[in-house]
Structure 1
Amino acid sequence: VDLIIGTLSKSFASCGGFVAGSRVLIDWMKFTLPGFVYSVGLSPVITAAAAKALELMQTESWRIAKLSHNAEFLRDTAQAAGLDTGPAIGRAVIPILFNSVWETMAVSEHLLAHGIYVPPVVQVGVPKDKPRLRFFISASHTEDEIRQVVQLIVDRPVVEPPRGLSLPGDQPAAAL
Protein backbone atom coordinates (compact mmCIF):
# COMPACT_ATOMS: atom_id res chain seq x y z
CA VAL A 1 0.00 0.00 0.00
CA ASP A 2 1.51 3.32 -1.08
CA LEU A 3 -0.86 5.67 0.70
CA ILE A 4 -3.23 5.48 3.66
CA ILE A 5 -5.81 8.23 4.18
CA GLY A 6 -8.09 8.39 7.21
CA THR A 7 -10.51 10.58 9.06
CA LEU A 8 -10.56 11.28 12.76
CA SER A 9 -13.91 13.08 12.78
CA LYS A 10 -16.25 10.14 12.31
CA SER A 11 -14.26 7.41 13.96
CA PHE A 12 -11.96 8.74 16.66
CA ALA A 13 -13.99 11.34 18.56
CA SER A 14 -11.88 14.12 17.13
CA CYS A 15 -11.57 16.15 13.93
CA GLY A 16 -9.32 16.37 10.94
CA GLY A 17 -7.63 13.50 9.23
CA PHE A 18 -4.33 12.02 8.23
CA VAL A 19 -2.31 10.81 5.29
CA ALA A 20 0.45 8.23 5.73
CA GLY A 21 2.97 7.12 3.14
CA SER A 22 6.63 7.09 2.25
CA ARG A 23 8.71 10.16 3.10
CA VAL A 24 9.17 10.90 -0.63
CA LEU A 25 5.43 10.74 -1.34
CA ILE A 26 4.46 12.83 1.70
CA ASP A 27 7.10 15.47 0.89
CA TRP A 28 5.85 15.64 -2.69
CA MET A 29 2.25 16.10 -1.44
CA LYS A 30 3.25 18.77 1.10
CA PHE A 31 5.04 20.89 -1.45
CA THR A 32 2.83 20.47 -4.52
CA LEU A 33 -0.82 19.98 -3.52
CA PRO A 34 -2.67 23.20 -2.60
CA GLY A 35 -4.59 21.52 0.20
CA PHE A 36 -1.34 20.56 1.87
CA VAL A 37 0.59 23.75 1.15
CA TYR A 38 -1.99 25.78 3.09
CA SER A 39 -2.76 23.31 5.86
CA VAL A 40 -1.21 22.61 9.23
CA GLY A 41 -0.50 19.52 11.26
CA LEU A 42 -2.87 18.14 13.84
CA SER A 43 -2.91 20.00 17.13
CA PRO A 44 -1.82 18.14 20.27
CA VAL A 45 -5.35 18.08 21.68
CA ILE A 46 -6.75 16.49 18.51
CA THR A 47 -3.97 13.92 18.49
CA ALA A 48 -4.54 13.17 22.20
CA ALA A 49 -8.29 12.71 21.65
CA ALA A 50 -7.67 10.25 18.81
CA ALA A 51 -5.06 8.37 20.87
CA LYS A 52 -7.48 8.11 23.81
CA ALA A 53 -10.24 6.86 21.50
CA LEU A 54 -7.89 4.15 20.22
CA GLU A 55 -6.97 3.21 23.79
CA LEU A 56 -10.65 2.92 24.78
CA MET A 57 -11.38 0.76 21.73
CA GLN A 58 -8.66 -1.63 22.83
CA THR A 59 -9.42 -1.70 26.56
CA GLU A 60 -13.20 -1.31 26.56
CA SER A 61 -14.32 -3.27 23.51
CA TRP A 62 -17.89 -3.40 24.83
CA ARG A 63 -18.22 0.20 23.60
CA ILE A 64 -17.79 -0.92 20.00
CA ALA A 65 -20.52 -3.55 20.34
CA LYS A 66 -22.85 -1.04 22.05
CA LEU A 67 -22.15 1.57 19.37
CA SER A 68 -22.95 -0.95 16.62
CA HIS A 69 -26.16 -1.95 18.40
CA ASN A 70 -27.24 1.68 18.85
CA ALA A 71 -26.52 2.59 15.23
CA GLU A 72 -28.40 -0.43 13.91
CA PHE A 73 -31.24 0.33 16.32
CA LEU A 74 -31.54 3.90 15.02
CA ARG A 75 -31.41 2.75 11.40
CA ASP A 76 -33.98 0.00 11.93
CA THR A 77 -36.30 2.15 14.08
CA ALA A 78 -36.18 5.00 11.55
CA GLN A 79 -36.86 2.67 8.63
CA ALA A 80 -39.75 1.01 10.49
CA ALA A 81 -41.22 4.49 11.01
CA GLY A 82 -41.06 5.15 7.26
CA LEU A 83 -38.01 7.40 7.30
CA ASP A 84 -35.42 7.20 4.52
CA THR A 85 -31.98 6.26 5.84
CA GLY A 86 -30.50 6.00 2.37
CA PRO A 87 -27.73 3.43 2.07
CA ALA A 88 -26.97 3.42 5.82
CA ILE A 89 -25.38 0.16 6.93
CA GLY A 90 -25.88 0.78 10.63
CA ARG A 91 -22.58 2.18 11.78
CA ALA A 92 -21.78 5.29 13.81
CA VAL A 93 -23.18 7.82 11.31
CA ILE A 94 -26.80 7.35 10.25
CA PRO A 95 -28.39 9.75 7.77
CA ILE A 96 -32.08 10.50 7.49
CA LEU A 97 -32.89 11.93 4.07
CA PHE A 98 -35.62 14.45 3.30
CA ASN A 99 -37.39 15.73 0.20
CA SER A 100 -36.16 19.31 0.36
CA VAL A 101 -33.64 21.60 1.98
CA TRP A 102 -36.53 23.44 3.62
CA GLU A 103 -37.90 20.25 5.22
CA THR A 104 -34.42 19.23 6.37
CA MET A 105 -33.82 22.60 8.01
CA ALA A 106 -37.28 22.60 9.61
CA VAL A 107 -36.71 19.15 11.14
CA SER A 108 -33.29 20.24 12.42
CA GLU A 109 -34.90 23.27 14.10
CA HIS A 110 -37.70 21.08 15.52
CA LEU A 111 -35.16 18.73 17.08
CA LEU A 112 -33.12 21.65 18.44
CA ALA A 113 -36.26 23.02 20.11
CA HIS A 114 -36.37 19.67 21.95
CA GLY A 115 -32.70 19.84 22.98
CA ILE A 116 -31.32 17.63 20.20
CA TYR A 117 -28.66 19.20 17.96
CA VAL A 118 -28.49 17.66 14.49
CA PRO A 119 -27.34 20.20 11.88
CA PRO A 120 -28.67 19.83 8.33
CA VAL A 121 -26.33 18.66 5.58
CA VAL A 122 -27.23 20.09 2.19
CA GLN A 123 -25.58 20.80 -1.15
CA VAL A 124 -22.46 20.95 -1.55
CA GLY A 125 -21.89 18.48 1.25
CA VAL A 126 -24.33 16.03 -0.35
CA PRO A 127 -26.12 15.89 -3.72
CA LYS A 128 -28.67 18.71 -4.00
CA ASP A 129 -31.60 16.28 -4.22
CA LYS A 130 -30.54 14.37 -1.08
CA PRO A 131 -30.51 16.80 1.86
CA ARG A 132 -30.25 15.05 5.19
CA LEU A 133 -29.64 15.07 8.87
CA ARG A 134 -26.60 13.08 9.93
CA PHE A 135 -26.92 11.43 13.31
CA PHE A 136 -23.65 10.66 15.09
CA ILE A 137 -24.43 7.77 17.41
CA SER A 138 -22.43 6.84 20.48
CA ALA A 139 -22.29 3.94 22.89
CA SER A 140 -23.75 6.28 25.51
CA HIS A 141 -27.09 6.75 23.77
CA THR A 142 -30.02 4.77 25.12
CA GLU A 143 -32.75 3.03 23.14
CA ASP A 144 -35.28 5.40 24.73
CA GLU A 145 -33.31 8.43 23.46
CA ILE A 146 -33.14 6.92 19.99
CA ARG A 147 -36.88 6.15 19.99
CA GLN A 148 -37.58 9.72 21.14
CA VAL A 149 -35.58 11.22 18.25
CA VAL A 150 -37.36 9.06 15.68
CA GLN A 151 -40.75 9.91 17.18
CA LEU A 152 -39.95 13.64 17.14
CA ILE A 153 -39.14 13.39 13.44
CA VAL A 154 -42.29 11.40 12.67
CA ASP A 155 -44.47 13.81 14.71
CA ARG A 156 -42.84 16.99 13.41
CA PRO A 157 -45.16 19.80 12.45
CA VAL A 158 -45.52 20.48 8.75
CA VAL A 159 -43.98 23.87 8.12
CA GLU A 160 -44.28 25.45 4.70
CA PRO A 161 -41.60 27.84 3.48
CA PRO A 162 -42.63 31.48 3.24
CA ARG A 163 -44.29 32.24 -0.08
CA GLY A 164 -41.72 32.88 -2.80
CA LEU A 165 -38.77 31.55 -0.78
CA SER A 166 -36.66 28.89 -2.39
CA LEU A 167 -33.47 27.45 -1.03
CA PRO A 168 -30.58 26.00 -3.03
CA GLY A 169 -31.36 22.38 -3.79
CA ASP A 170 -35.14 22.79 -3.52
CA GLN A 171 -35.58 23.70 -7.17
CA PRO A 172 -34.30 21.90 -10.25
CA ALA A 173 -31.34 23.66 -11.79
CA ALA A 174 -32.27 26.01 -14.61
CA ALA A 175 -31.35 24.89 -18.11
CA LEU A 176 -28.33 26.68 -19.52
Structure 2
Amino acid sequence: MEEYHQSEIADQAYAKRLVLRFGILNLKIPISYAFTLLFFCGSFFNFSCEREYLGNVTGMDLVTGSYLHRNDKKESEYYCPSNTWAQIAFVCAIVGLVVGITKLKFKKIIVTLVGIIGVVSLYYLNIDIPIRALKLSSFYDINSEEANIVTGTQSSYYMCMFSMICSALFSFFSSKTSKMGGQPDRIST
Protein backbone atom coordinates (compact mmCIF):
# COMPACT_ATOMS: atom_id res chain seq x y z
CA MET A 1 0.00 0.00 0.00
CA GLU A 2 2.86 2.37 0.88
CA GLU A 3 4.55 1.58 -2.44
CA TYR A 4 1.39 2.40 -4.37
CA HIS A 5 1.00 5.72 -2.51
CA GLN A 6 4.59 6.81 -3.31
CA SER A 7 4.10 5.88 -6.95
CA GLU A 8 0.90 7.95 -7.02
CA ILE A 9 2.69 10.97 -5.53
CA ALA A 10 5.52 10.62 -8.06
CA ASP A 11 3.01 10.48 -10.93
CA GLN A 12 1.25 13.60 -9.69
CA ALA A 13 4.53 15.50 -9.32
CA TYR A 14 5.58 14.47 -12.83
CA ALA A 15 2.21 15.54 -14.24
CA LYS A 16 2.55 18.96 -12.61
CA ARG A 17 6.02 19.37 -14.11
CA LEU A 18 4.69 18.48 -17.55
CA VAL A 19 1.85 21.00 -17.26
CA LEU A 20 4.25 23.72 -16.20
CA ARG A 21 6.80 22.83 -18.85
CA PHE A 22 4.63 22.17 -21.91
CA GLY A 23 1.23 23.58 -21.08
CA ILE A 24 2.37 27.16 -20.60
CA LEU A 25 4.47 27.11 -23.77
CA ASN A 26 1.60 25.67 -25.76
CA LEU A 27 -0.72 28.36 -24.40
CA LYS A 28 1.74 31.13 -25.27
CA ILE A 29 1.88 30.17 -28.93
CA PRO A 30 -1.76 30.95 -29.88
CA ILE A 31 -1.81 33.97 -27.57
CA SER A 32 1.26 35.48 -29.22
CA TYR A 33 -0.26 34.92 -32.67
CA ALA A 34 -3.46 36.58 -31.44
CA PHE A 35 -1.39 39.58 -30.31
CA THR A 36 0.24 39.64 -33.75
CA LEU A 37 -3.21 39.94 -35.33
CA LEU A 38 -4.14 42.65 -32.83
CA PHE A 39 -1.02 44.68 -33.64
CA PHE A 40 -2.02 44.68 -37.32
CA CYS A 41 -4.75 47.16 -36.34
CA GLY A 42 -2.15 49.72 -35.26
CA SER A 43 -0.18 52.19 -37.34
CA PHE A 44 2.76 50.52 -39.09
CA PHE A 45 4.28 53.38 -41.09
CA ASN A 46 3.89 57.13 -41.31
CA PHE A 47 5.00 59.41 -44.11
CA SER A 48 6.42 62.90 -43.83
CA CYS A 49 8.25 65.39 -45.98
CA GLU A 50 10.51 67.97 -44.38
CA ARG A 51 8.83 67.41 -41.02
CA GLU A 52 5.36 67.88 -42.47
CA TYR A 53 3.09 64.92 -41.69
CA LEU A 54 1.57 63.43 -44.83
CA GLY A 55 -0.26 60.35 -43.55
CA ASN A 56 0.05 56.86 -42.13
CA VAL A 57 -0.98 53.31 -42.90
CA THR A 58 -1.99 50.56 -40.50
CA GLY A 59 -1.16 46.91 -40.92
CA MET A 60 -4.73 46.22 -42.03
CA ASP A 61 -4.45 49.00 -44.61
CA LEU A 62 -1.43 47.21 -46.02
CA VAL A 63 -3.29 43.89 -46.06
CA THR A 64 -6.48 45.15 -47.70
CA GLY A 65 -5.39 48.32 -49.48
CA SER A 66 -6.56 51.81 -48.53
CA TYR A 67 -6.88 55.42 -49.61
CA LEU A 68 -4.64 58.27 -48.52
CA HIS A 69 -6.25 61.71 -48.45
CA ARG A 70 -4.58 65.05 -48.96
CA ASN A 71 -5.07 67.55 -46.15
CA ASP A 72 -5.72 70.49 -48.46
CA LYS A 73 -8.14 68.77 -50.88
CA LYS A 74 -10.94 66.54 -49.65
CA GLU A 75 -11.73 65.09 -53.07
CA SER A 76 -8.16 64.07 -53.79
CA GLU A 77 -7.38 60.46 -52.89
CA TYR A 78 -4.47 58.14 -53.57
CA TYR A 79 -5.14 54.41 -53.52
CA CYS A 80 -2.42 52.44 -51.76
CA PRO A 81 -2.75 48.89 -53.06
CA SER A 82 -2.43 45.94 -50.74
CA ASN A 83 1.08 44.71 -50.03
CA THR A 84 1.95 41.08 -50.64
CA TRP A 85 4.43 40.95 -47.74
CA ALA A 86 1.79 42.24 -45.32
CA GLN A 87 -0.73 39.73 -46.63
CA ILE A 88 1.74 36.85 -46.16
CA ALA A 89 2.49 37.93 -42.58
CA PHE A 90 -1.22 38.32 -41.80
CA VAL A 91 -2.08 34.89 -43.20
CA CYS A 92 0.83 33.39 -41.25
CA ALA A 93 -0.57 34.88 -38.05
CA ILE A 94 -4.02 33.46 -38.76
CA VAL A 95 -2.61 30.02 -39.63
CA GLY A 96 -0.40 30.10 -36.53
CA LEU A 97 -3.36 30.94 -34.32
CA VAL A 98 -5.63 28.27 -35.80
CA VAL A 99 -2.97 25.54 -35.86
CA GLY A 100 -1.80 26.55 -32.38
CA ILE A 101 -5.27 25.92 -30.97
CA THR A 102 -5.88 22.63 -32.75
CA LYS A 103 -4.24 19.29 -32.02
CA LEU A 104 -2.48 18.30 -35.20
CA LYS A 105 0.28 15.76 -35.52
CA PHE A 106 2.89 18.19 -36.89
CA LYS A 107 1.53 21.23 -35.08
CA LYS A 108 4.80 22.47 -33.64
CA ILE A 109 6.67 22.20 -36.92
CA ILE A 110 3.91 24.02 -38.80
CA VAL A 111 3.66 26.78 -36.20
CA THR A 112 7.44 27.26 -36.16
CA LEU A 113 7.65 27.47 -39.97
CA VAL A 114 4.69 29.84 -40.13
CA GLY A 115 6.37 32.07 -37.54
CA ILE A 116 9.64 32.14 -39.47
CA ILE A 117 7.84 32.94 -42.73
CA GLY A 118 5.90 35.70 -40.97
CA VAL A 119 9.06 37.27 -39.55
CA VAL A 120 10.77 37.21 -42.95
CA SER A 121 7.75 38.75 -44.67
CA LEU A 122 7.53 41.52 -42.06
CA TYR A 123 11.23 42.22 -42.60
CA TYR A 124 10.73 42.54 -46.36
CA LEU A 125 7.67 44.71 -45.74
CA ASN A 126 9.91 47.17 -43.91
CA ILE A 127 12.20 47.25 -46.96
CA ASP A 128 9.36 47.52 -49.49
CA ILE A 129 7.36 50.38 -47.97
CA PRO A 130 10.00 53.14 -48.36
CA ILE A 131 10.37 52.15 -52.01
CA ARG A 132 6.61 52.43 -52.52
CA ALA A 133 6.55 55.74 -50.66
CA LEU A 134 8.43 57.38 -53.52
CA LYS A 135 5.22 57.13 -55.56
CA LEU A 136 3.54 59.47 -53.07
CA SER A 137 5.64 62.45 -54.18
CA SER A 138 3.51 63.04 -57.29
CA PHE A 139 0.29 62.73 -55.27
CA TYR A 140 1.40 65.33 -52.72
CA ASP A 141 2.90 67.60 -55.43
CA ILE A 142 6.40 67.21 -54.07
CA ASN A 143 9.36 67.66 -56.35
CA SER A 144 11.31 64.46 -55.72
CA GLU A 145 14.60 66.19 -56.54
CA GLU A 146 14.13 68.85 -53.86
CA ALA A 147 12.64 66.84 -51.00
CA ASN A 148 12.27 63.21 -50.08
CA ILE A 149 9.38 61.48 -48.42
CA VAL A 150 10.56 59.98 -45.16
CA THR A 151 8.97 56.75 -43.98
CA GLY A 152 8.82 56.23 -40.23
CA THR A 153 8.31 52.79 -38.79
CA GLN A 154 5.85 52.81 -35.90
CA SER A 155 5.72 50.81 -32.68
CA SER A 156 2.84 48.58 -33.85
CA TYR A 157 5.10 47.22 -36.58
CA TYR A 158 7.85 46.45 -34.06
CA MET A 159 5.39 44.87 -31.63
CA CYS A 160 3.98 42.76 -34.45
CA MET A 161 7.50 41.65 -35.38
CA PHE A 162 8.36 40.91 -31.73
CA SER A 163 5.16 38.94 -31.25
CA MET A 164 5.83 36.89 -34.40
CA ILE A 165 9.41 36.17 -33.27
CA CYS A 166 8.14 35.09 -29.84
CA SER A 167 5.61 32.78 -31.49
CA ALA A 168 8.29 31.10 -33.57
CA LEU A 169 10.65 30.77 -30.60
CA PHE A 170 7.97 29.43 -28.26
CA SER A 171 6.97 26.78 -30.76
CA PHE A 172 10.59 25.91 -31.59
CA PHE A 173 11.60 25.48 -27.95
CA SER A 174 8.37 23.65 -27.20
CA SER A 175 9.16 21.12 -29.91
CA LYS A 176 12.77 20.78 -28.71
CA THR A 177 11.73 20.08 -25.11
CA SER A 178 9.05 17.62 -26.13
CA LYS A 179 11.63 15.65 -28.13
CA MET A 180 13.95 15.59 -25.13
CA GLY A 181 11.28 14.48 -22.70
CA GLY A 182 10.86 10.81 -22.14
CA GLN A 183 9.00 8.47 -19.87
CA PRO A 184 8.62 9.57 -16.26
CA ASP A 185 11.14 8.37 -13.75
CA ARG A 186 9.41 6.06 -11.29
CA ILE A 187 10.30 5.97 -7.66
CA SER A 188 10.93 2.38 -6.71
CA THR A 189 11.13 1.23 -3.15
Q: Could you tell me the TM-score, scaled by structure 1's length?
A: 0.27
Larger Rg: 2
Relative contact order: is structure 1 or structure 2 higher (C-alpha 8 Å, sep ≥ 6)?
2
